[in-house]
């Protein structure tokens, strides 16, 4: 290799090492928030419920009563890509919802010549929930509606004559509403540097604010447990109405 070619190579290497090159930063997609609401994919909640049962003893009468339950529920958004808001079509979130409840207590009422008793044990439900963000002059709320299927352990008694405990299944529908805790604790915008307790809300679905990742929620669920035949041959039909209140965290 002659000295002229070696010199050219050295000059090229020096230019590559010492001359700064321009680095073009690639934009990074950041999921938006929804009207003061963290746009996360998963939720998990714990709640208490009043359970109103209505058991129809065919051709005799019905027994009504109220007991209690402890429930856990969760959701996961259907829609989650960088090209769309997670779980959202034009401001409407669509999510899969599931819950597990453990009932306690027995509802009892006199029916004819016997005591009609209804006990809800464990109840599992799963279905689809539609959630609509609503901003009422800075107060955020999330009404929802859903449908699905439930499987539960139910005991029906025509005491003291006959009874049956078995797993029942049937459809449910639900209505609910959730309120972010940021409605009361407030939030700040990283772009404006607002005070810690200053409530700053935007309109639409792409505002950039800090919001609480916790919400309070209320829910009504009506589950049809279907027909149930007691060990003495009596036929019954039971519907459960669950009135739930709880706290839900977002991940």
CATH domain 3-250 topology: Porin (2.40.160)
For the stretch 109-138, pLDDT in tens is 999 889 999 999 999 999 999 888 888 887
**In the predicted model, is pLDDT for residue 9 greater than 70?**
no
Instruction: Please name the residue ranges forming H helices in the chain.
Output: 3-18, 182-185
| Residue indicated by tokens 């109220």 | 66
Angle subtended at Cα 16 by Cα 10 and Cα 18, rounded to the nearest 5 degrees: 95
Kind of pairing, strands 214-229 and 139-159? unpaired
Query: Which of the four pLDDT bands, split at 50, 70 and 90, describes residue 173?
Result: very high
Contacts of 25 (CB under 8 A, 6+ apart): none
Residue with tokens 């070619």: 5
Reference 159, options 118, 120, 114; nearest CA is 114
Average model confidence (pLDDT) across the chain: 76
pLDDT at 79: 55
Judged against a pLDDT cut of 50, whether residue 213 lies above it is answered with yes
- pLDDT value at 207 more than 90: no
Amino acid 26: pLDDT: 45
Q: How far apart are CA 85 and CA 144, in angstroms?
A: 18
Residue spans of the domains in the chain: they are 3-250
22, 200 contact by CB (below 8 A) = no
Task: Identify which has the larger pLDDT, 82 or 26.
Answer: 26
171-182 mean pLDDT = 91
Q: For 221-238, what is the mean pLDDT?
A: 93
Q: Which residues pair with 77 in a beta bridge?
A: 95
- Give residue-wise pLDDT tens across range 35-92: 444 455 688 999 999 999 999 999 899 999 999 999 999 998 775 433 344 444 446 7
Q: 144-165: per-residue pLDDT in tens?
A: 999 999 999 999 999 999 999 9
| Res 199: pLDDT | 41
Best mean pLDDT range from 16-20, 25-29, 182-186: 182-186
Query: How many whole angstroms from its chain centre is CA 189?
Result: 26
Q: How far is CA 48 from the centre of its chain?
A: 15
């Amino acid at each position: 290799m002659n000295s002229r070619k070696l010199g050219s190579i050295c000059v090229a290497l020096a230019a590559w090492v010492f001359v700064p090159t321009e680095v073009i930063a690639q934009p990074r997609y950041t999921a938006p928030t929804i009207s003061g609401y963290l746009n996360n994919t998963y939720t998990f909640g714990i709640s208490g419920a009043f359970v109103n049962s209505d058991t129809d003893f065919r051709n005799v009468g019905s027994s009504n009563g109220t007991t209690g339950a402890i429930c856990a529920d969760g959701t996961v958004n259907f829609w989650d890509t960088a090209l769309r808001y997670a779980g959202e079509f034009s401001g409407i979130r669509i999510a899969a919802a599931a819950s597990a409840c453990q009932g306690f207590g027995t509802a009892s009422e006199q029916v004819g010549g016997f005591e009609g008793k209804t006990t809800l044990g464990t109840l599992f439900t799963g279905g689809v929930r539609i959630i609509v963000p609503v901003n009422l002059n800075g107060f955020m709320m999330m009404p929802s509606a859903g449908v699905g299927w439930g499987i539960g352990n139910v005991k029906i008694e025509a005491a003291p004559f006959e009874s049956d405990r078995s797993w029942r299944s049937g459809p449910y529908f639900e209505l609910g509403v959730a309120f972010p805790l940021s409605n009361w604790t407030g939030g700040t915008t990283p772009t404006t540097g607002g005070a810690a307790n200053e409530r700053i809300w935007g309109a639409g679905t792409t505002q950039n604010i800090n919001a609480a990742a916790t919400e309070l929620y209320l829910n009504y669920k009506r589950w049809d447990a279907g027909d149930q035949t007691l060990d003495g041959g009596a036929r019954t039909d039971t519907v459960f109405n669950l009135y739930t209140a709880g706290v839900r965290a977002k991940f």
